[in-house]
A = this chain, B = another copy of it.
Amino acid sequence: MASYNAYSSPNQSYIPSTSSNQNYTPSAPPMQYSSCSTPSSDSYSSSYSSYPPAYPQQFGYSSGFQDNYNAFFPPGTNPEVIRSFQAVDRDRSGSIDERELQSALSSMYQGFGIRTVRLLLFLFKNPRGPSDRIGPAEFAVLWDCLGQWRMVFDRFDRDRSGKIDSEELKEALRSLGYAVPPSVMQIIMSNYIDSASGRGGLNFDNFVECGMIVKGITDKFKEKDTRYSGSATFTYESFLTTVIPFIVP
């Protein structure tokens, strides 16, 4: 059985996958940071059932939403998060779409590309809610997660250039709990490094995009690898259903 926590030692290096290697780690829990649990259709109802409905208008709870935003956020939510949501949810619908989310995130960080925003929306939305919007509870989780990832990014951007390189990305992902094989790192980095000059790197937007792809794909793999064996079996339909949402634009 594969171990998902082989990174208890900070200096432990990547352990390649072989059938005889019992220490192979599809992913590992974080050393220092939470890797931001995103809702899955199975786990969602239990972990979120104590919150008010995330989409008041759609579920007929619009009355009073305009006057009391706080009630729709998890207890203890940072007021800045509530203000940020309120600022972009101009029609007071109680949920925000991809453009509003992009605007909210870009006001806090540097600009976020629409592909990254769509990926975040896909990973953090309520699986029982609409596919193209997120509500206050999910927004708060996402905000918190991005804050943690920003800390990781800043920690590895040692020269404060605003960009991290291949090695730093690998270390950053590892500190978030993801042991990405070198072959995969190479594929990822080829999109950000100019092959001729060897120059380039990932800004925070790129880092979030890459990290969330790795996180999302790993989480999906784990759902199928229920015995933590390091391998998972998919039917054709489950394979397409798992993979296609990450690919379509």
Contact of A244 (CB < 8 Å), options: B130, B131, B187, B233 = B187
Closest B residue by C-beta to A25: B236
CB distance from A244 to the nearest CB of B (A): 5
Question: Taking the complex as formed, is A44 at the interface, i.e. its CB lies under 8 A from any CB of chain B?
Answer: no
**A171-194, CB under 8 A of B: which get 1 and which 0?**
000000000110110011011000
User: Within the assembled complex, what's the spacing in Å between the Cα atoms of A213 and B239?
Assistant: 13
Q: Is B248 touching A187 in the complex (CB atoms < 8 A)?
A: yes
CB distance from A187 to the nearest CB of B (A): 5
User: Within the assembled complex, what's the spacing in Å between the Cα atoms of A247 and B191?
Assistant: 11
Question: Taking the complex as formed, is A63 at the interface, i.e. its CB lies under 8 A from any CB of chain B?
Answer: no
Q: Is B243 touching A188 in the complex (CB atoms < 8 A)?
A: no
Closest B residue by C-beta to A17: B237
Q: Is A248 touching B183 in the complex (CB atoms < 8 A)?
A: no
Contact of A235 (CB < 8 Å), options: B191, B231, B248 = B231
Q: Is A240 touching B180 in the complex (CB atoms < 8 A)?
A: yes
Q: Which residues of B contact A27 (CB under 8 A)?
A: 236
User: Within the assembled complex, what's the spacing in Å between the Cα atoms of A230 and B209?
Assistant: 32
Known: A232-B233, A233-B232. A221 touches B239 (CB 8 A): yes
Closest B residue by C-beta to A113: B249
User: Within the assembled complex, what's the spacing in Å between the Cα atoms of A248 and B216?
Assistant: 13
**A199-230, CB under 8 A of B: which get 1 and which 0?**
00000000001100110011001000100001
CB distance from A121 to the nearest CB of B (A): 12
Q: Which residues of B contact A213 (CB under 8 A)?
A: 244, 247-248
Q: Is A231 touching B233 in the complex (CB atoms < 8 A)?
A: yes
Closest B residue by C-beta to A189: B248
Question: Taking the complex as formed, is A246 at the interface, i.e. its CB lies under 8 A from any CB of chain B?
Answer: yes
CB distance from A233 to the nearest CB of B (A): 5
Question: Taking the complex as formed, is A49 at the interface, i.e. its CB lies under 8 A from any CB of chain B?
Answer: no
Q: What 6 A-B pairs are tightest by C-beta distance, nearest first?
A: A26-B236, A184-B240, A17-B237, A181-B237, A233-B233, A231-B235
Q: Could you pull out 11 A-B pairs where Cβ atoms are within 8 angstroms?
A: A26-B236, A131-B195, A191-B248, A209-B249, A213-B244, A213-B248, A214-B240, A217-B243, A221-B239, A232-B239, A246-B246
A231-B236, A243-B246 given; name 13 further pairs at CB < 8 Å: A17-B236, A17-B237, A24-B236, A27-B236, A183-B237, A187-B248, A210-B248, A214-B240, A214-B244, A217-B240, A231-B233, A231-B234, A233-B234
